[in-house]
Amino acid sequence: MSSHHFVKEQQEPALLILDTKDVSYDSIAPLLEWVPTVMVAQDEVFAVISWGIKLDLILAEMDFQKNNYRLLEEQYPVKFLGVKDGAFLEEALQYLVATKHSAVNIIGYDHLHVFELQEKLNFLDIVIIDGQMRYYPVKSGKFKKWFPETSIQLHAPEGTLLEVITTEGASITEVKYATMIDLPEGIVEFKGKEIFWIGEMLNQQ
């Protein structure tokens, strides 16, 4: 059965598009495979429509809603989700939690602000796509994964100590701004005392 026959049941990660700068359709097409709930901030609506993506919710302030009411017909069954004072991210996350979504991929969010999402991680699995990097949190403080030979970014409050165990041995990394580390191919284990984020290049997914 092809994916478009499935009824949405909030099981697949929703897709929240806040900014399309430095993002191509090809980079997010894999996220659309299982027909997720698609939410778009008002300033990106026409760019996303031009990609041929079907929208579910447009995060919009009142003026935008009034001036673009025809979108409700043209993109039916799209709906507006009202936003005040530019709080697109906050409204979107509140909606996703209220509608029992379990996960969301956020496009166009500055990864330097991921720690502002900490509280929402209790309710949602969040992945950030910022430019050509994909960031995901390690909530438990421990994470193990197979990597190709690559470079990744570790993101945590400045001065955080993380243990990185590779096929070549264990080392302690002190996280500073944009801490990049090189990994050999194989299973890599990360250990830390607090939540931290790992950034990978999209093209190695």
The pTM of the full predicted model, rounded to 2 decimals, is: 0.89
Structure confidence by residue, pLDDT tens digits, 29-86: 888 888 889 999 999 999 999 999 999 999 999 999 999 999 999 999 999 999 999 9
Whether residues 110 and 19 share a domain: the answer is yes
Whether residue 125 sits in one domain with residue 145: no
Q: Domain for residue 2, yes or no?
A: no
Mean predicted lDDT score pLDDT of the chain: 90
For residues 86 and 170, membership in a common domain is answered with no
Q: Return the H-helix or E-strand segment holding 74.
A: helix 71-74
For residue 28, what pLDDT is reported? 86
Structural domain boundaries, residue 200: 138-204
**pLDDT surpassing 80 at residue 177:** no
**pLDDT over 70 (residue 5):** no
127/151 same-domain check? no
Q: With 70 as the cut, is the pLDDT of residue 4 above it? A: no
Please indicate, yes or no, whether residues 126 and 143 belong to a single structural domain of this protein: no
Give all strands of the β-sheet with 79-82 in edge-to-edge order.
79-82, 57-60, 38-41, 14-17, 103-107, 125-130, 133-138, 196-201, 150-155, 179-183
What are the pLDDT digits (tens) for 73-94?
Answer: 999 999 999 999 999 999 999 9
Answer yes or no: do 31 and 108 share one domain.
yes
Average pLDDT in the 119-148 region? 93
Same domain, 127 and 152: no
Are residues 118 and 151 located together in one domain of the fold?
no
Residue 3 has pLDDT above 70, yes or no: no
State the CATH number of the domain containing residue 26. 3.40.50
